Amino acid sequence: MAKADFNVQGGRIFYKGELIEAGIAVQDGKIIKVAKSASLPTAGETVNAKGLVILPGVIDVHVHVRDMSQKTKEDWTTASHAAAAGGITTILAMPNTSPPITTARALKQYKTIARKKSVVDYGVFIGATETNTRELTTSESCGIKLAMGSTTGNLLVEKTEKMRSILETSVKAGKTVVVHAEDEEMIKKRFLALKKRGREPPPKIHSVIRDPEAARIAVSRAIRLSKQTNAKIHIAHVSTRGELIEIVNAKKDGLLVSCEVTPHHLFLSEKDYDAKSHKLKVNPPLRSRSDVSAAWGALLEGIIDCVATDHAPHVLEDKEQDYWSSPSGLPGLETMLPLMLDSVNKSMLSLAHVADLVCTNPAKIFRLKNKGKIMEGFDADLTFVDLKREWKIRGDEFKTRCGWTPFEGRIVSGKPVKTMIRGAIVFEDGDVVGGRGREVQFK
């Protein structure tokens, strides 16, 4: 039998949809065997996983890494360290950087920075504009980002005709289009009317300006365009019942539509707005309890394909400005998996379902090669968790440069304790201990 570089032993591993007691043999960064201890090949070393659960490396398909002119908020070093500490082994990065990534050239340059600094594996989306359709055919991206509503940065496509041509191009390029679906016209109208009144509004106004109907209308338009063009679309951060109804119907019609939900739309609601602070300003905004329960319902019914952070770090100094100046976005890399594990401990969903949502399905949707499963031939990307560890979430202990979390003070059960990427331990006992990120490959 082939000799392994090392065997992971003593833990419970998530294999073929079940949690089983078995070991994993790793050679040259790949999983070469999954078997009971007695049947593992001989190995130079053993990684002891006693008392731990081992998931396939978690994949986050929606991360705003920043860097370049926004290093004070985050860069590839701090974002990837935060990812590793959150048990995440692969991140797909968004293009609304400064400057934005809207050309194949800019994409390559951004990936050069990632190659030098990232400790986790990565892909990068190219951003669609009303004039860069030809750039979108590049094979260098992990997908195309289409912002139907304005948000941080200046990426925005307002004209339906342009959206259609972007979707047509995506089909030719064989890429999935990730859609930020909020209707720009509705948002703009309300925003300008409010601004005219001149008064400083309370934080909860954000959920009125960008209301559920603005999201539903945009999702409905995106689905219609996907039907017309046969484009594969992925709806980012669904947060309302109305959007979910549109998505269920599209799925019933066999359209190529998938979707994600963020932890902040599952674990926070409008009730969490602080009367004085714009800290929780995010696009799309926090929703009513009724929408939160619709999101949970859809998650449990399998309508939602994955959970993704939409990690969008801004420093508190920026967030604590007035409503007009406070940037939208919340950090999430270090809290997504813990919050999901806590939900497993509270019997809200199964661990198998969590693995589908944050490991297997993200790899499937973006066709990531050798990622998303513990299986022979796959990358040895492993997330070791202590499922029962109770701890308090504290932003000042996090690795994200922004240094805060919307979940401050929450006590959760379940903690990622070790993160392995292609056979190398990257995070252990609270520290990043190495790691060299590599760009994902596609099937």
Binding site for ligand DOR (CB under 6 A): 64, 96, 151-152, 180, 282-283, 312, 327-329
Comparison of 23 and 395: residue with beta carbon closer to ligand DOR: 395
Q: Which of residues 395-434 bind Zn ion (CB under 5 A)?
A: none
User: What SS3 string covers the chain?
Assistant: CCCEEEEEECCEEEECCEEEECEEEEECCEEEEEECHHHCCCEEEEEECCCCEEEECEEEEEECCCECCECCCCCHHHHHHHHHHCCEEEEEECCCCCCCCCCHHHHHHHHHHHHHHCCCEEEECEECCCCCHHHHHCCCCCCEEEECCCCCCCCCCCCHHHHHHHHHHHHHHCCCEEEECCCHHHHHHHHHHHHHHCCCCCCCHHHHHCCHHHHHHHHHHHHHHHHHHCCCEEECCCCCHHHHHHHHHHHHCCCCEEEEECHHHHHCCHHHCCCCCCCCCCCCCCCCHHHHHHHHHHHHCCCCCEECCCECCCCHHHHCCCCCCCCCCECCCCCHHHHHHHHHHCCCCCHHHHHHHHHHHHHHHCCECCCCCCCCCCECCEEEEEEEEEEECCHHHCCCCCCCCCCCCCEEEEEEEEEEECCEEEEECCEECCCCCCECCEC
Residue 422 interacting partner from Zn ion, ligand DOR, none (CB closer than 5 to 8 Å by kind): none
Residue 165 interacting partner from ligand DOR, Zn ion, none (CB closer than 5 to 8 Å by kind): none
Comparison of 56 and 313: residue with beta carbon closer to ligand DOR: 313
Taking the C-alpha atoms of 220, 222, 227 and 228 in order, what is their torsion angle to the nearest 10 degrees? 120
CB of 166 to Zn ion, least distance (A): 17
Comparison of 175 and 278: residue with beta carbon closer to ligand DOR: 278
CB of 64 to Zn ion, least distance (A): 6
Place of tokens 């997330």: 383
Stretch near Zn ion under the rule CB under 5 A, chosen from 2-10, 242-250, 304-312, 356-364: 304-312
Stretch near Zn ion under the rule CB under 5 A, chosen from 3-11, 50-58, 167-175, 303-311: 303-311
Calpha distance 91→198 (Å, rounded) = 41
Comparison of 96 and 103: residue with beta carbon closer to Zn ion: 96
CB of 306 to ligand DOR, least distance (A): 17
**With left for phi above 0 and alpha for psi between -120 and 50, is residue 272 left, alpha or beta?**
alpha
Residue 96 interacting partner from ligand DOR, Zn ion, none (CB closer than 5 to 8 Å by kind): ligand DOR
Comparison of 146 and 209: residue with beta carbon closer to Zn ion: 146
Calpha distance 339→353 (Å, rounded) = 14
Residue 87 interacting partner from Zn ion, ligand DOR, none (CB closer than 5 to 8 Å by kind): none
Whose CB is nearest to Zn ion?
310
Whose CB is nearest to ligand DOR?
329
Stretch near Zn ion under the rule CB under 5 A, chosen from 186-194, 305-313, 350-358, 412-420: 305-313
Stretch near Zn ion under the rule CB under 5 A, chosen from 308-316, 376-384, 415-423, 430-438: 308-316
CB of 356 to ligand DOR, least distance (A): 25
Q: Does 310 bind Zn ion (CB under 5 A)?
A: yes
CB of 186 to ligand DOR, least distance (A): 16
CB of 274 to ligand DOR, least distance (A): 17
Comparison of 27 and 96: residue with beta carbon closer to ligand DOR: 96
Interacting residues of 349 by C-beta distance below 8 A, sequence separation 6+: 299, 300, 340, 343
Residue 56 interacting partner from Zn ion, ligand DOR, none (CB closer than 5 to 8 Å by kind): none
CB of 281 to ligand DOR, least distance (A): 7
Comparison of 281 and 373: residue with beta carbon closer to ligand DOR: 281
Q: Is 133 exposed, middle or buried (0-12, 13-18, 19+ CB in 10 A)?
A: middle
- Residue from 183, 211, 310, 379 carrying the catalytic annotation: 310
Calpha distance 317→312 (Å, rounded) = 15
Task: Count the residues of the shown chain that bind Zn ion, applying the rule CB under 5 A.
Answer: 1
Residue 383 interacting partner from ligand DOR, Zn ion, none (CB closer than 5 to 8 Å by kind): none
Comparison of 282 and 363: residue with beta carbon closer to ligand DOR: 282
Q: Does 182 bind Zn ion (CB under 5 A)?
A: no
Strand partners, 330: 311
CB of 94 to Zn ion, least distance (A): 5
310 flagged as catalytic? yes
Residue 283 interacting partner from ligand DOR, Zn ion, none (CB closer than 5 to 8 Å by kind): ligand DOR
Residue 435 interacting partner from Zn ion, ligand DOR, none (CB closer than 5 to 8 Å by kind): none
- Kindly list the catalytic residues: 310
The residues of the shown chain that bind Zn ion, judged by CB under 5 A, are 310
